[in-house]
Structure 1
Amino acid sequence: MGNSIGASGPVTMRCSRPAAIAHYFTAKSWIEGLALEQLAELTRLPGMLSVAGFPDLHPGKYGPVGMAALSSRLYPQLIGNDIGCGMAFFELDMPQRKFRIDKAATALRELENIGFDAPDIAKFAPLADLEADVESLGTIGGGNHFCEIQSVEELLQPDAAELLDRQKLYLLVHTGSRNLGASVFDRTIDENGAMTDGLDPASEAGMTWLTRHDLCVEWAVLNRQMIAQRVAEVLRTDVRLIADVPHNLVRRHTDGYVHYKGAAAVQSGGVAPIAGSRASLSYIVQVLSAAAKSHWAISHGAGRKYDRRNMHGRIGVTRSEREALLRNQWGGIAICDDRKLAVEEAASAYKNAGQVLEDLAGHGLVRPLASMKPLITYKKTSVDHDELKRDRVRDRRMSGRRKNG
């Protein structure tokens, strides 16, 4: 078999005519060369019809992150192990004048310890042997996942006031299907190997993955809802969903299947968040009809500029530097007890979300509505050593499979 997507070494060229490729970014957005190479590799995969790259494009483990790809075949590895990962944006029924950052941060440290009435998960019965555990709902996870209390920094359109109130608080939740998506991904690899040529959607393997995938997407939506409910409980307020936009999934299309990897799956006229970092602005945008040309996909955030390993030694070397990472210019607080994660997720690890927005708007995909400033960013209150061990084992397994084809 040929090399897996994004693997090092020579690439097996299996398609004589590459798929169409479109870049929805400008020279102002710094794009790493490896990410462009990975994007180009996608165009040569069997069944690939069209590929789009966005200004948050950066290299990924199994292919580029920040892209949408239309194919007649299914490529589960392009979606990866966090199936259904996305961002949900909520309004909190709490005025800013009553909000105290330090007091709220102390309360939010108990976020994942708050109990809730278990939801009905009967529809997820087909995933019962794949860690579809109700106890994992309402949890953030690791990596770049977070939930964040925000307020409006600036309304960028006169009609934005119809959606957003400068006197209110908002909640942005970024997480996915937790261990469930990882279990589905591992099981799919065990059953089908590296899937270098993808899966036939009409095959048993293709239909099995799609069924599991769809349930993971629903599980991730439910997870974001449960986190929002926990935040509301901690802050003693109510919460209202404004938009839930996934960015790691497949959607059926008249010509095949669109693979969204780190690209928000949107719809015309819909509202979507574009996340910055815990020390930079995020943005709320309205999707324009021209996004049809990009497979109804846009950037979901700023995208990484430096990988996790390269952040160590670059920042957070001293105790004072590490403490500074947990504060921002608006007096906001980051809740992250994992020093390693705090360094890896520093604001300087990410690109400029404002430039991402400028590129998307310049290509006619979105209309900026508002900028949002971070007040409290919740990531992790304790280090989950079992989770770190599982991640290392999974990485070793996948590395071995890529080497062996």
Structure 2
Amino acid sequence: MENQKLNGNDLLAIGFEGKAIGAALQLLQTAYKGKTKEHTLALLKKVLDTPEQYREHPVLAPLAEELLVPAPAEPLALKPDQQAYAIWGAEGIEVRALNQMDIAMRLPVTRAGALMPDAHQGYGLPIGGVLATENAVIPYGVGVDIGCRMAMTLYDMPATFLEQNRERLKGLLVDNTRFGRATFQKPKEHAVIDRPEFRDIPILKGLKDRAFEQLGSSGGGNHFVEWGTVELADAQNEWGLAPGTYLALLSHSGSRGMGAAIAGHYTKLAMEGCMLPQEARHLAWLDLDTEAGQEYWLAMNLAGDYASACHQQIHERLAAAIGQQPLARIENHHNFAWKEKDAQGRELIVHRKGATPAGKGVLGIIPGSMTAPGFIVRGKGLSASLNSASHGAGRTMSRTKAKELISPEAVQQQLQQAGVDLIGSGLDEAPGAYKDIRKVMAFQQELVEVVALSYPRL
């Protein structure tokens, strides 16, 4: 009986499957003609059982290589039912953001979640989403701009100072800040650049030089530096300042190109090692007891510290330029993951992607828009929100839509009415692209208390 009568069912019977069946049948068409079926099946079974021994075989090597290719992993199954989670300001949150949060709450590693009133669609976890996982960190749950933050310094200057010195203060902003691809010709030194992570983690070795070049600068998009005034009403404030109006410098930016490179690299690793259904693929995670998980955790913390260093230099430059020492400094970050314990004492990884930490007594800054006030807040520590609050007003339309629908004339009119001088921005950051910050704050009264209002001016 010749081997020509061998078919796929014969190969299935001895354990062959997938592409290896086709490879074996094709091989039999060009080799081992005249051999009996029994002889050929016995030979193929040997190759199937020990393919590594046939990698150098002059005829059977291609079949052996096909057998040695790892079988594609089946996607991990999501939980059939999502866990419940609290939502603040649901009436103003788009369906796509709600759908993303619903999917995140079905991950096997998810233990709790919450959605803030400024929420809108993102990659993986929605912006404004808070997700607690166990022993797992989700790079896209942190976000691309790792450690993005708000920083403010207050100055003891008379209320009239800003109006009397508008042109001078505008010049100081132009001279002492850089945005997007622009950097300082001679960046200031900072200890963060000497951190051992730049030496010990492969992905960071190639990012160090660019990180140094971008020190003290800000990204594009919604990142800004502004002069404004702060109306402090809380007499029991943390700085011992009297209620009143103060000159303020406010900045918003993150970890620049380094954070984006870290996010891209470890998201790719997560997606390769943690296959999820198509709708959840951007929520792939890294176990913290793996080398990749530990590397990402160190890199994420470095990126956060780097973002803080950039803000520190921004405020140092402008403090020196104005010739004043600030009375107080406030800083908080988002797009980050924290190790925190829940009510049962479990250590969880809390991702706040566009959400402000609002543990009891924790200070934060929640900006509005270029014409709307921002809010200095003190967290109330509500466990249902995972000790979180919104990180801003939240977008009502995408950047593309804003550019299509909002006119420069309308923006200019809004700026004039608000008494704001705009040095630089795009239509994608127009006030009309954002929700009403006062409504957003009304939705989260149980999450934070207002310490002061901040008004943008330049």
TM-score tier by shorter-chain length is: 0.7 to 0.9
Q: In terms of mean alpha carbon deviation, does 261-270 or 205-214 score higher? A: 261-270
Match status 1:76 vs 2:168? no
Q: Could you list the per-position Cα deviations for residues 52-105 of structure 1 after superposition, in whole angstroms to 9, with x for gaps in the alignment?
A: 001101111333100210011221112121111111122134433333223211
Q: Which residue of the partner structure matches residue 122 of structure 1?
A: 194
Q: Which residue of the partner structure matches residue 202 of structure 1?
A: 289
Preserved contact between residue 150 and residue 365 of structure 2 (Cα < 8 Å)? yes
Shift of 1:190: 4.1
In the alignment, which of 385, 390, 398 is matched to residue 294 of structure 1?
Answer: 385
- Percent identity between the aligned chains? 28
Shift of 1:40: 0.8
- Residue 101 of structure 1 aligns with an amino acid whose one-letter code is R
- Residue 266 of structure 2 aligns with an amino acid whose one-letter code is T
In the alignment, which of 347, 361, 385 is matched to residue 269 of structure 1?
Answer: 361
- Residue 451 of structure 2 aligns with an amino acid whose one-letter code is L
In the alignment, which of 141, 149, 161 is matched to residue 86 of structure 1?
Answer: 149
5+ residue gaps in structure 1? 1-10, 377-405
Preserved contact between residue 232 and residue 245 of structure 2 (Cα < 8 Å)? no
Q: Which residue of the partner structure matches residue 166 of structure 2?
A: 101
Which structure has the highest helix share of the two? 2
Preserved contact between residue 172 and residue 318 of structure 2 (Cα < 8 Å)? no
| Secondary structure of residue in 1 paired with 2:332 | strand
In the alignment, which of 214, 239, 253 is matched to residue 175 of structure 1?
Answer: 253
| Secondary structure of residue in 2 paired with 1:51 | strand
- Residue 369 of structure 1 aligns with an amino acid whose one-letter code is V
Preserved contact between residue 368 and residue 437 of structure 2 (Cα < 8 Å)? yes
Give the TM-score, by structure 2 length: 0.71
Preserved contact between residue 88 and residue 241 of structure 1 (Cα < 8 Å)? no
Superposed counterparts of 1:4-403, under 5 Å = 14-25=78-89, 27=91, 30-72=92-134, 73-99=136-162, 100-112=165-177, 113=184, 117-120=188-191, 121-123=193-195, 124-126=197-199, 127-131=204-208, 133-153=211-231, 155=233, 157=234, 159=236, 162-163=240-241, 165-193=243-271, 195=274, 196=281, 197-254=284-341, 255=346, 256-289=348-381, 291-316=382-407, 320-321=409-410, 323-324=412-413, 327-336=415-424, 341-361=425-445, 364-376=446-458
Which structure has the highest strand share of the two? 1
| Secondary structure of residue in 2 paired with 1:335 | coil
Alpha-carbon distance in 2 for matches of 1:244, 1:153: 17
Do the aligned partners of residues 248 and 229 (structure 1) sit closer, same or farther apart at CA in structure 2, a change above 3 Å counting? Answer: same
Q: Could you list the per-position Cα deviations for residues 86-130 of structure 1 after superposition, in whole angstroms to 9, with x for gaps in the alignment?
A: 111221344333332232112311123596641122115343322
Give the TM-score, by structure 1 length: 0.80
Structure scoring higher RCO (CA < 8 A, sep ≥ 6) equals: 1
Alpha-carbon distance in 2 for matches of 1:238, 1:279: 27
Preserved contact between residue 258 and residue 303 of structure 2 (Cα < 8 Å)? yes
Do the aligned partners of residues 356 and 164 (structure 1) sit closer, same or farther apart at CA in structure 2, a change above 3 Å counting? Answer: farther
Shift of 1:154: 6.8
Shift of 1:265: 2.0
Alpha-carbon distance in 2 for matches of 1:184, 1:40: 26
Q: In terms of mean alpha carbon deviation, does 189-198 or 256-265 score higher? A: 189-198
Q: Which residue of the partner structure matches residue 5 of structure 1?
A: none
Alpha-carbon distance in 1 for matches of 2:242, 2:339: 32
Shift of 1:215: 0.8
- Residue 295 of structure 1 aligns with an amino acid whose one-letter code is L
Alpha-carbon distance in 2 for matches of 1:323, 1:263: 30
- Residue 103 of structure 1 aligns with an amino acid whose one-letter code is R
Shift of 1:227: 1.2
5+ residue gaps in structure 2? 1-74, 178-183, 275-280
Alpha-carbon distance in 2 for matches of 1:164, 1:174: 26
| Secondary structure of residue in 1 paired with 2:375 | strand
Do the aligned partners of residues 16 and 163 (structure 1) sit closer, same or farther apart at CA in structure 2, a change above 3 Å counting? Answer: farther
Alpha-carbon distance in 1 for matches of 2:268, 2:327: 40
Query: Considering only aligned residues, what root-mean-square deviation do their CA atoms show, in Å?
Result: 2.4
- Report how many aligned residue pairs link the two structures: 353
Do the aligned partners of residues 357 and 248 (structure 1) sit closer, same or farther apart at CA in structure 2, a change above 3 Å counting? Answer: same
